[in-house]
Amino acid sequence: MIIDTLFEHGMCTLIPRGRIDSSTSGDFQHAMDYALGKTKNIMIDFKEAEYISSSGLRVLLSAKKALGNAGSIAITNCNQAILEILDLTGFSDLFDVDRNTTLDASQMKAIFFDVDGTLLSHTTKIIPESAKRAIKEVREKGLKVFIASGRDMRELQKILEMNGDMKFDGYLTLNGNVCINEKGEMFAGNEIDQGEVEILVNIFRAGTIPFVLIGEKERYINYVDDVVIETQEATQGTIPDIGEYKGEKIYQCLAFVDSEMRNRLENLLDQCSITSWNERGIDIIAKTGGKAAGIQKVIDIYKIKRSETMAFGDGENDLSMLKFAGIGVAMGNGVDKVKQNADYVTSSIDEDGIYNAFKHFKLID
């Protein structure tokens, strides 16, 4: 059995696929034990599950007994068959069960958009007019709209100004690790552990690979080569100034490396996670961070439920937020892994993907 495990904002989400029965409950137990060893707050997301038998229920019961009053187990996205089993056995009274059984976009209150490949086309170098129109219309209907991007605020402002100064209710920059409201004020952050930062700064200073350190307001690179120039030109990114680390909090690092070096960095950095945004570009952030963690901070502030959120993305660094949101939408131009894990796959960015998804979910007329 495949069970996706997602750690975000102090919570572990388990997403089992298929049937949870006597032949697969061992895998479920193993995933549950691993989660319990890391946190006391667990979400079981059954959106990919078909059925749960008594063997699977015993895993849930055992976990609840192990936690006692020290934590919680919530259950969400059950199909009707699983809900009926939970009701029949009384488990719906023992656990916090979200009874939303369908992808009902009528309840949406907040929508989150990646930028590169989702809002911004690297073919036309602009945001499609259809996307601008669709986002403006849902915002006028009272839905809140947010950007969730690996870019920093300066780059986002430049992109939005070049595309008609679009309005958003907030910005989850640096992959959700610096959260900024519509007034430009930071309201939440998730910096990399200072001990890990010491290692990252040493990589930066060693100068063996092009490496960028990013704080709340400043970012700087150790050196620039052809790979940096070509990668940033391909993604309409700007090249940071060459600079020196001054001791500030670091929220994200960039490295311009091949797959072999990426693997070496993943093995080296215990407290960080790495995602790709280009064949030669990677983001390095705290393991506790990511776009899903940024969304959690937003819904905490606005008192919004996860089931009332929708997220759009196309790349590897969008995967966590598409799994986390009530409805995750993959762009038709997205990577296969993102499309496989989305609730819905729309058309590509250059074929009015955002507009068509809004029409599909009846968010616009």
114 noted as active-site residue: yes
Helical segments of the chain, H only: 25-36, 54-67, 80-89, 91-94, 129-140, 153-162, 173-176, 194-206, 226-234, 259-268, 291-302, 319-324, 336-341, 353-360
The half-sphere exposure of 103 on its side-chain side, counting CA atoms within 13 A, is 18
Per the document, the length of the chain is 365
8 A C-beta contact, residue 35 and residue 42: yes
SS3 224: coil
**How far is CA 296 from its chain centroid?**
10
The amino acid occupying position 174 is: L
* Tokens coding 334: 């997205």
Reference 146, options 287, 294, 10, 277; nearest CA is 294
Report the distance separating Cα 287 and Cα 310, nearest Å.
23
Reference 285, options 193, 362, 347, 363; nearest CA is 193
Catalytic residue from among 27, 93, 96, 114: 114
The amino acid occupying position 298 is: V
- Active centre residues (catalytic): 114
